[in-house]
Amino acid sequence: MKSRIHYTKPSITGLELRYAADAAANGWGEKCYDYINRFEAEFKAHLGVRFAIATSSCTGALHMGMAALGIGPGDEVIMADTNWIASASPIVHVGATPVFVDILADSWCLDPALVERAITPRTKAIIAVHLYGNLCDMDALLAIGAKHGIPVIEDAAEAVGSVYHGKRAGSMGRFGTFSFHGTKTLTTGEGGMFVTNDPELYEHVLTLSNHGRARGQTKQFWATMIGFKYKMSNIQAAIGCAQLERIDELVAAKRRVFATYQSELASLPVTLNPEAADTVNGCWMPSFVVAAGVPFDREALLAAFQAEAIDGRVFFWPLSSLPMFTPCPENRIAYDMCGRACNLPSYHDLGEADIQRVCEVVRAHVPPKPPSF
Ligand SMILES: *Cc1c(COP(=O)(O)O)cnc(C)c1O
């Protein structure tokens, strides 16, 4: 039987094992925050931001950040319709309403012109999600945010390693969030990070993250607000420290996998993740979109993947098409593209022969480019 080609899995070496074992054996008592402090400090330095708070998930980091911005019932938060549900849930959890706008056909991310049109007096934030490692048009979004006095939040869960005009994804908005879930480029099993350059926002989220107890509070068990419990453990942070030491290697491996797909699928009428001028795509999730009008049966492709022991995944559904939300079929690109697109397996150690195996199945399901394409 053929070995299974997984969709994603972490790259774990002796370094991660050593740090995790050290944290489990020794990271208690006065050392119980050592790896957490180190992971935050090193992540901050990597990203080029002033403040970082390690969290139990990206979802938790988004929830606390939105709560600290005072987003609540009656408020609206604009985001792209094509997205993972985790960026929308915290909006609903704080009592606000996600407003889904269409994506751009080239970046697969928020269309800034539609963002501006969707702004109302109730708009309290714009969430820029760097989908699959692709980058949002941050210049345009930040300009719109500044013009209307609305904070731009960056959900960079999928964009470790992505760089926009010299700035790392997640470092440009009012705050940024990251995920270290086991499927992501850098992992701690479960985990996330909240980052910002705003000292007041940092203090507020730090207090929220500590069940409403301000740092420096000398009175024991004294909370001054209702907070959250979205902390990362020292053992997880130990694994994170090892992963962060290897970050360049981890991103390079993802980019190698992507580049191989790109050359192997070059004969097909498909578009893979873009890399615009003056940007770097961290290539978290190599994906392809079949050109409109080309016959393509995605379900047949996914079935063929399954028969070949390959994990293929559907592109994100428009969130507005899920049963909890009101459909927005006017988001034509989001609704049209998802049926023509697929994610490809992309773990760091995926070998050339296995990439060939995946591409053979894709080539059998997408007709080659006509000569005039
Ligand atoms: C993975 C992901 C999240 C959620 O991360 P968790 O750490 O699982 O909470 C949020 N946003 C995006 C864009 C993601 O890809």
Q: Which of 275, 4, 293, 68 is nearest to 164 (CA)?
A: 275
Question: Distance from the CA of 58 to the center of ligand 1, in angstroms?
Answer: 5
Q: How far is CA 106 from CA 21, 97, 218, in A?
A: 44, 27, 53
Whole-number Å distance, alpha carbon 159 to ligand 1 midpoint, is 11
Cα–ligand 1 centroid distance for 144 (angstroms): 25
Residues 6+ apart with CB under 8 A from 8: 182, 183, 184, 285, 345, 346, 347
Which two tokens mark 287?
């994906």
CB atoms within 10 A of CB 273: 22
> Read out DSSP for 109-125?
SB-HHHHHHH--TTEEE
The rounded Å distance from CA 88 to ligand 1 centre is 10
Q: Tell me which H or E stretch contains 126.
A: strand 123-129
pTM of the model: 0.97
Q: Which protein residues touch ligand 1 with a CB less than 6 Å away?
A: 57-59, 84, 86-87, 129, 155, 157-158, 179, 181, 192
Looking from the CA of residue 192, the nearest atom of ligand 1 is: 7
Q: How far is the CA of 192 from the centre of ligand 1 (A)?
A: 8
Predicted pLDDT at 371: 74
Using DSSP, how many helices (H) and how many strands (E) does the chain show? 12, 14
CATH architecture type of domain 14-245: 3-Layer(aba) Sandwich (3.40)
Contact call for residues 122 and 98 (beta carbons, < 8 A): no
- Residue 353: per-residue pLDDT: 96
Ligand 1 atom with the shortest distance to the CA of 62: 10
What pLDDT, on a 0 to 100 scale, did the predictor assign at position 373?
61
Exposed/middle/buried for residue 113 (C-beta within 10 Å: 0-12, 13-18, 19+): middle
User: Residue 247's CB: how many other CB atoms inside 10 A?
Assistant: 17
Residue nearest to atom 12 of ligand 1 (CA): 157
What pLDDT score does 1 carry? 65
pLDDT for 200 equals: 98
Q: How is the chain split into domains, by residue range?
A: 14-245, 247-365
Q: How far is the CA of 62 from the centre of ligand 1 (A)?
A: 9
From the alpha carbon of 59, which atom of ligand 1 is closest? Answer: 9
CATH superfamily of 247-365: Aspartate Aminotransferase, domain 1 (3.90.1150.10)
Nearest residue (by CA) to ligand 1, atom 10, is: 86
87 Cβ contact list (under 8 Å, min separation 6)? 62, 79, 127, 129, 155, 157
**Per-position pLDDT tens, the chain of length 373:** 689 999 999 999 999 999 999 999 999 999 999 999 999 999 999 999 999 999 999 999 999 999 999 999 999 999 999 999 999 999 999 999 999 999 999 999 999 999 999 999 999 999 999 999 999 999 999 999 999 999 999 999 999 999 999 999 999 999 999 999 999 999 999 999 999 999 999 999 999 999 999 999 999 999 999 999 999 999 999 999 999 999 999 999 999 999 999 999 999 999 999 999 999 999 999 999 999 999 999 999 999 999 999 999 999 999 999 999 999 999 999 999 999 999 999 999 999 999 999 999 999 999 998 776 6
Q: Distance (Å, rounded) from C-alpha 135 to C-alpha 112? A: 12
